[in-house]
Amino acid sequence: QGGGSAVIDMENMDDTSGSSFEDMGEMHQRMKEEEEEEAEGEAGAGEEEDGEFLGMKGLRGQLGRQVADQMWQAGKRQASRAFSLYANIDILRPYFDVEPAQVRARLLESMIPVKMINFPQKIAGELYGPLMLVFTLVAILLHGMKTSDTIIREGTLMGTAIGTCFGYWLGVSSFMYFLAYLCNAQITMVQMLSLLGYGLFGHCITLFITYNIHFHSLFYIFWLVVGGLSTLRMVAVLVSRTVGHTQRLILCGTLAALHMLFLLYLHFAYHKVVEGILDTLEGPNMPPFQRVARDIPVVSNAVLNTTAKAIALTL
């Protein structure tokens, strides 16, 4: 019995050992499966993280493109607004918004010198009157070219007249504004254009009368009286806006000399200069060659008769 029980115990031990081995194998297999599942889970998580990273990258790129487009549109709007600002006619409207009665009053005031120079005199900040006076001066110059002995060839001389008048108005105004800046005069560029433009009213009166009445003595009278009054008006206004005797002398002396000499140039030298320019550009003023029937002079007839008689006697 003792031997049989030992055999049974060994069998039981063998059965238990087999079952334990089987359990260990199953546990090992389960551990492998769990490790594989964990690895697969980690791989899936890594792929999800990569996808999220790529999605964030794409979102950032899209946001960057949107920001760049918005910046471009904003810059484009600002540029178009800047160009339209300079191209808009409403900017110039305040400089030309003036009544005819005001222009007439300012034309009369341009011939009357001011007496009070202790405080700055008022200058009209509009350009309608000066611009019309410049165009009027152009028309007077063209009229003077037609009434004089100047021969107009191949079109009109409007371009030369416009260049002369606008060149004087804009050029001298710019130069005087620069000089006024150096002399610490209280005047703006628009005020200088207005002041010099209204000062051309005396030039228009003088040239219109002297182009139709050709007397040099009459011109000198108008040059001193009419041109002198308009020049004194501008000088008095500049004196009232300038501090310092030296600055006043430089500024006002330069303006008076340029204004009075320009009137002399328009009356005496403008036509000759234009004729010289035309001769230089178009050649000398020579009439075209034409065949015209002319009578034979008496002397030529006598010579021919004498020659014919001599030939007849010889024969």
On average, the pLDDT of the chain sits at 75
User: Is residue 291 scored above 50 in pLDDT?
Assistant: no
pLDDT of residue 116: 76
User: Is residue 129 scored above 60 in pLDDT?
Assistant: yes
User: Is residue 150 scored above 60 in pLDDT?
Assistant: no
pLDDT of residue 289: 35
Cβ–Cβ under 8 Å, residues 203 and 137: yes
Q: Residue holding tokens 């551990």?
A: 31
CA distance 57 to 45: 18
Mean pLDDT of 165-190: 93
CA distance 6 to 53: 69
Lowest-pLDDT range of 152-156, 181-185, 239-243, 266-270: 152-156
Residue 289: C-alpha distances to residues 188, 282, 292 (Å): 58, 17, 9
Which band of pLDDT confidence, cut at 50, 70 and 90, is reported for residue 252?
very high
In single-letter form, the type of residue at position 41 comes to G
User: Is residue 65 scored above 50 in pLDDT?
Assistant: yes
User: Is residue 200 scored above 80 in pLDDT?
Assistant: yes
More confident residue, 302 or 191: 191
In single-letter form, the type of residue at position 13 comes to M
Q: Output DSSP code: residue 287.
A: P
**Percentage of residues in the chain having pLDDT higher than 70:** 62
User: Is residue 15 scored above 70 in pLDDT?
Assistant: no
Please provide the size of the chain in residues: 315
pLDDT of residue 234: 93
Which band of pLDDT confidence, cut at 50, 70 and 90, is reported for residue 190?
very high
- Cα 58–Cα 64–Cα 66 angle in degrees, nearest 5: 105
pLDDT of residue 299: 43
More confident residue, 147 or 292: 147
pTM of the model: 0.61
More confident residue, 162 or 73: 162
Which band of pLDDT confidence, cut at 50, 70 and 90, is reported for residue 42?
low
Mean pLDDT of 211-215: 83
